[in-house]
Structure 1
Amino acid sequence: MSKTTARPTSVQLYSVRDAIAADLAGAVARVAEVGFTQVEPYAFHERADDYAKAFADAGVTAPSGHAPVIDAAEPDVVLDAAARLGIGIVIDPFVPTERWQTADDAKRLADRVNELTVRAAARGLRFGYHNHQWEFANKVDGRAVFEIFAEHLAPEAVLEVDTFWATVGGADAPAVLRSLGDRVVAIHVKDGKVSGDIATVLPSSESALVVPDALQAAYENQTPAGQGDVDVPSVLAAAPQALRVVEFDSYSGDVFEGIATSLAWLQENDR
């Protein structure tokens, strides 16, 4: 398989989290063997030494990474780890639905992102947020609360739009991407069924990593890109500037085969 694609393509290592937990270096090496030269690690500050060695050994880079920064008592720990690992874009992946209910909620979160954006910039980094479905499903006067949040962001703050979850939340993901323009520096490319438990069951309010059984089962209906309900070609066309990041929340088959199939589809169709 070719290791090049028409546009920059990465993979969220959360997709292979069980393999990461068992053998981080081996999992990163296997992702590289699939054909990815870029990865997006999660909670990278907790295992910075391990990630640094694994990336060097596998010959991959991490242009972006996920970590809980918005609620961090010591965000500098995360930002320093990002700078060390060469992660130029730090993304907070999760603020639960309870804090996305009102316009004041949206402004409060935007203010915090703006504050962290300044702190990140002092290290030459960019900072932003990654959505799930509730930021679009939750409405304020008929508008998605995410839209209000985006309006309050400083120009330097960035976004990684999870196009699957935006679709699950009822948004027209390509229209969202077009409206946000260059603020969108990365997109999560995933596909699958967008109705049923996947749309209605939420993770815990403490962590996106705590997943109820019904939601875990619904995750397994996710598919490689181009095989589900998301209009992935229109998503890609709407954000030509964005880093493509393949992700599965879970997968009923071999997840390494799933990410390989998504990469092959992108190599063929994302031109």
Structure 2
Amino acid sequence: MTAALSVQLYSVRDALAADLPGTLDRIAGLGFANVELFGFVDRVDEYRTALANAGLTALSGHAALAEGDAERALDAAAALGMRTLIEPMVRHGWETADGVSAIADRLGQIAAQARPLGIEVGYHNHTWEFESEIDGRNAFDVFTERLDPAVVLEIDTYWAEVGGASAPELLARLGDRVRLIHVKDGPRSTDAAAQQPAGSGDMPVKEILAAAPGAVRVIEFDAYAGDIFDGIAQSLRFVSGQAS
């Protein structure tokens, strides 16, 4: 089975702010059928109409859950037919075992709230989960051990690598717990503006895709020095050519 392809709309946030329907039409025109939303909780009606008109499905979305209004975010996700709602980041708490357990417990509670709505709750990493060390282990490994299996994972493969992990090894170890991966490329740098289309940077993108054959491939740029739609199109061509 070929894994689904998607794009994180944060990549085109400036275009969305100027023209949401037109931006979604452009994304569909690149060949996408699926998108990952952000900032949708206050724009449900607008997104519902524009997604339908563009022929796009919001498979997943990012919204603050652990430290936000989880109930409101879940209701918005359900209204848009979303399958997976992802906590995009929890910045603090990774320095101690108790802090990590508290994050895991909170996400488990939200996953239980989400289940009757037919929504899975997930977590998306940055670098700090891998940079923090607890008893000789990185905090992300401690986190995944303590996390309710009902909470799925979206591995941002770029930030995992920048944080010091091998993304292919991480994906192989986590297996089916990983429902989605963020695919991006560039140097191993915290300078987001240095990111490049998939296949043109230093990230082991081919190995990453092979290590998570069933995970939704979500193309993303945190920033890009060139034309963002062209960058997304280049990434889509590369990832499509590497489909399992």
Same fold? TM cut 0.5: yes
Runs of 4+ in 1 over 6 A off after TM superposition: none
1:239 and 1:91 map into 2 onto residues whose CA distance is 18
Question: 2:168 touches 2:208 (CA, 8 Å); kept in 1?
Answer: yes
Match of 1:220 among 186, 193, 198: 193
1:60 alignment counterpart: 56
1:260 and 1:143 map into 2 onto residues whose CA distance is 38
Aligned Cα RMSD in Å? 1.1
Structure 2 regions of 5+ residues with no counterpart?
A: none
Question: 2:2 touches 2:214 (CA, 8 Å); kept in 1?
Answer: no
How many positions carry a matched residue from both structures? Answer: 244
Match of 1:102 among 67, 92, 96: 96
Deviations 1:199-251 (A, max 9, x none): xxxxxxxxxxxxxxxxxxx2111001111111011111111110000000000
1:246 alignment counterpart: 219
2:135 alignment counterpart: 141
Matches within 5 A, 1:230-241: 230-241=203-214
Does residue 192 (structure 1) correspond to residue 181 (structure 2)? The answer is no
Q: TM-score, normalised by structure 2?
A: 0.97
Offset, 1:270: 2.2
Question: 1:233 touches 1:270 (CA, 8 Å); kept in 2?
Answer: no
1:77 alignment counterpart: 72
1:234 and 1:269 map into 2 onto residues whose CA distance is 10
Percent identity for Structure 1 against Structure 2: 50
1:10 alignment counterpart: 6
Output the amino acid matched with 2:70. P
Does residue 259 (structure 1) correspond to residue 196 (structure 2)? The answer is no
- SS state of the match for residue 203, structure 2? coil
Match of 2:168 among 148, 154, 174: 174
1:243 and 1:6 map into 2 onto residues whose CA distance is 9
Does residue 91 (structure 1) correspond to residue 86 (structure 2)? The answer is yes
Output the amino acid matched with 1:140. I
1:268 and 1:68 map into 2 onto residues whose CA distance is 33
